[in-house]
Structure 1
Amino acid sequence: MKNIKFAASIALGTAVGTAIYQHLAHSEITVDVYKPVFVGVFTFVITAIWLSIMPKKND
Structure 2
Amino acid sequence: MFNNDFSRVALSMLGALVFTFTAVGAAVGPARLVETTPVVYAGTASNAAVAA
Q: Structure 2 length normalisation: TM-score?
A: 0.49
Relative to the length of structure 1, the TM-score reads: 0.44
Query: Which structure has the bigger radius of gyration?
Result: 2
